[in-house]
Amino acid sequence: MENKAHALAAGLFLLLLGIALAASVFWFQGDRTARVHYTVVARSGVPGLNLKAPVKLRGVEVGWVDSIGFDPEDARQILVGITVDATSPVSTTTHAQLGLQGVTGLSFVSLEEADGKAALTRAAPGSRIALRPTLLDRLAESGPLLLAGFAETAERLNKLLSDDNRQQLGRTLVRLDQTAADTSRLMAALQPSARQLPGLLKDADTTAQRASNALREIETLAADSRALAQDLKARIAVLDRIDGAAVQLQTTSRNLELSLVGDTPQRTRPLVADLSAASRSVERAANDLGDQPQSLLFGRGPRPPGPGESGFDERLKAATK
């Protein structure tokens, strides 16, 4: 009886010890973190995504995938249920993308913020988060268009690089080579002229300076000519007055001579003769000045040749023309 009692006590002890160990393990391994459930809505496929796949927020693991299935209301959508830490900053602008776990081909859900600078407004539990396609997804969708574009480009390149076009390109390159050689020869021929160009420019500058000086001298001469013309006009007016005075004096002397003829005393006749001679001299001087007014400035010129003198025939011919 005593042996059975000891065995029963030992069995109860072991049973209680096992229950205590199981409770301790459950206590230390139990997850008491508060979790929040969200639903990721995918319009495209979710390749490589499995249950218990990790969920990361900006690279930090915050939960896992707990369900994957089609939307009963819209079969074109896939609903992915995720469970994340309640303290995770999931906002109303958060969107999801699929990421690859190394080279295994398995995917995980990556949560990203659309606008990192916007004020954080936490999303309500159970909210739906849109799944955006990745770069590889967009490339896969646009792959046929890219291939069609590459094919069209290759076809155009084939047409561009046809035999005729290649021959034309070769001839063009040959002409370009010849043009470059001709340009080199022309530059070599122009180098001496280019070296002489500074001297020519200097001579042109000197010539322009001389021309400017000549123009200034011409302007000065023109001003002097205008002044000389005005002086000549004034002198001609004086000569006109002298001529008028001479004519008046001659008329007066003639009248005086006529009035005194016959009854003039013998002693007054020389006076009258002198007056007549003086009037004739004044008349001749006025006539000479009228014929050659420049004699006042430059002196009297030589008298014209008379009959029988040298140069008379040329003067007569010039007068008859």
- Which H or E run contains 110? strand 107-113
- Which H or E run contains 66? strand 60-70
H runs (alpha helix) in the chain = 2-29, 135-141, 143-160, 163-260, 269-291, 295-298, 312-320
The strand pairing partners of 94, in sequence order, are: 113
118 pLDDT exceeds 80?
no
What is the Cα–Cα distance from 50 to 69, expressed in whole angstroms? 11
Instruction: Select from 278, 289, 288 the least CA-distant residue to 248.
Output: 278
Retrieve residue 301's tokens.
């010129």
- pLDDT tens sequence across 84-97: 988 888 888 888 88
Average confidence (pLDDT) over 186-191: 81
**5-9-13 Cα angle (round to 5):** 170
- pLDDT tens sequence across 158-174: 777 777 777 888 888 88
**Tell me, what amino acid is at 88?**
S
137 pLDDT exceeds 80?
no
pTM over 0.85: no
* Rounded alpha-carbon distances, angstroms, from residue 17 to 4, 21, 150: 20, 6, 74
- pLDDT tens sequence across 5-25: 767 777 777 888 888 887 777
Q: Give the number of other CB atoms < 10 A from CB of residue 147.
A: 10
33 pLDDT exceeds 80?
no
Retrieve residue 34's tokens.
């508060």
